[in-house]
Amino acid sequence: MAKAARPALAVDFVGGATGYKLRTGAARSHALLKATGMAPGRSLTVIDATAGLGRDAFLLAAMGATVTLIERSPQVHALLAEALTAARAESPDLAAITARMTLLHGDARELLPTLQADVVTVDPMHPERTKTALVKQEMRLLRDIVGTDPDVTELMQAALAARCGRVVLKWPLRAEPLQGVRKASYQIAGKTVRYDVFVQVREASDETAAQVAAARSVGIDPG
């Protein structure tokens, strides 16, 4: 019997999980929004240094942020470009969201020094942790294309040196902190991942104090 054809990786901003979150309003309570400092009436500029499937960038843009996506894989970059084009043609609402998204192809370590934003987000590709863990098929497909990110420490160092107010690292929930970079200012935990937030000196001191107080109020010790 012939093997079933291997499914192809696709990026979809119209349907799937991304569309569901927007339709149901679930996006508004996403931990990423808290980690980046998104708030009603606040317009942020964000650099997504590891665009991947583009979902985090699309979520932020849907909530009003202006997002620059950086993707170094030519294949994934092409998929993102196609998905953005499809979303723009789908509806005026999606066109308005994607108008706030700019896609760049290249290595974030080289591009970050040329850019400026309120926030830089980093979501490195991790190895599959155990053979028994249930890993989404699309993430396996993405990992097959881009591999893992052994240079994540260098990428984070570049992000922390960038002209931005904060850096947000998306990290496995129970993993040890990334070595080779300074301690995070505080953490925000999701169901399966956490966001390590690095507040930069350039961010206003009163906002820093507010974020630290908010972290402590939910039992997080920002150190």
The C-alpha atoms of residue 152 and residue 37 are separated, in whole angstroms, by 23
Closest CA to 170 of 162, 161, 144, 159: 159
Cα distance between the two ends of the chain = 59
Q: 188, 34 in Cβ contact below 8 A?
A: yes
**196 annotated binding-site participant:** no
In the chain, the DSSP E strands lie at 45-48, 66-71, 101-105, 119-122, 166-172, 186-189, 193-199
Count of CB atoms situated within 10 Å of the CB of 27: 18
Annotation-wise, does 149 bind a ligand?
Answer: no
Cα separation, 140 vs 73, in Å, equals 15
- Please check if 56 is assigned to a binding site: yes
Angstrom CA distances, 15 to 12, 83, 94, 176, stand at 6, 11, 11, 34
Which residues are part of a known binding site for S-adenosyl-L-methionine? Answer: 55-56, 71-72, 123
- For the annotated binding site, the residues are 55-56, 71-72, 123
